[in-house]
Chain A
């Protein structure tokens, strides 16, 4: 069965550094998402992306976040200047005409 793949599985970075989290959605899917889960908290929607543009974003998704689909297969989340509170598990998801398929997540640790 096709999968959403995310790399890296764990990223450690220093506060103020830029990070890029990478995702390869399922190939025939049209909608792409990023969610995050701070340790011990709910899974929260960050942003959805369709037709090469952001279709919806949450209040969390401020100017330090950006998403990009640089080619036909990758979907990236960039955090420009990381803060301690950005430490979380970040999930990529994709869908076509079906429920969301999630990747295994990238655990981001900001020190």
Chain B
């Protein structure tokens, strides 16, 4: 069965420090992978997507993610977090680029300390 797993439920990071959020997937073939962010009271905003090609993808707000087939991972990174990055982050996978039924991970809540 298709699944997306985010091992970390909560992460606390100091402002200015680097951030890495883990995501692992289990699909029969390489899925299309996405990271979404949900700020309190807001919807799900797309940060970045991986379809194929370059395994390091750049997204909005200074985020990037690296697809590693050998590890079935698609980890999200940011070199220096800002207080406004405090939110919940969701990794999701689908079998198509569009017209997708996405499978979401459980989410990782990021807290940013001053």
Q: Determine if A31 and B43 form an interchain contact, defined as CB atoms under 8 angstroms apart.
A: no
Q: Does A65 contact B (CB under 8 A)?
A: no
Q: In the complex, which residues of chain A have a beta carbon less than 8 angstroms from the beta carbon of B34?
A: 99-100
CA distance A7 to B109 in the complex (A): 26
Known A-B contacts A104-B42, A104-B43, A105-B43; the reply to A99 vs B49 at CB < 8 A is yes
CA distance A40 to B99 in the complex (A): 27
Interface size on A, residues (CB 8 A): 27
Q: Binding site of B, secondary structure by majority: helix, strand, loop or mixed?
A: loop
Which has the most chain A C-beta neighbours within 10 Å: B45, B97, B101, B102?
A: B101
Q: How big is chain B's contact interface, by range?
A: 20 to 34
Q: In the complex, which residues of chain A have a beta carbon less than 8 angstroms from the beta carbon of B42?
A: 104
Q: Determine if A31 and B104 form an interchain contact, defined as CB atoms under 8 angstroms apart.
A: no
Q: Does B58 contact A (CB under 8 A)?
A: no
Q: Determine if B36 and A102 form an interchain contact, defined as CB atoms under 8 angstroms apart.
A: yes
Residue in A30, A91, A100, A104 whose CB lies within 8 Å of B100: A100
Q: Determine if A42 and B98 form an interchain contact, defined as CB atoms under 8 angstroms apart.
A: no
Residue in A4, A45, A96 whose CB lies within 8 Å of B102: A45
Q: Determine if A95 and B104 form an interchain contact, defined as CB atoms under 8 angstroms apart.
A: no
Q: In the complex, which residues of chain A have a beta carbon less than 8 angstroms from the beta carbon of B107?
A: 42-43
Q: Does A103 contact B (CB under 8 A)?
A: yes
Known A-B contacts A31-B98, A31-B99, A50-B99; the reply to A99 vs B46 at CB < 8 A is yes
Q: Does A44 contact B (CB under 8 A)?
A: yes
Q: List the interface of chain A (C-beta within 8 A of B).
A: 4, 6, 30-31, 33, 35, 41-45, 48, 50, 56, 91, 93, 95-105
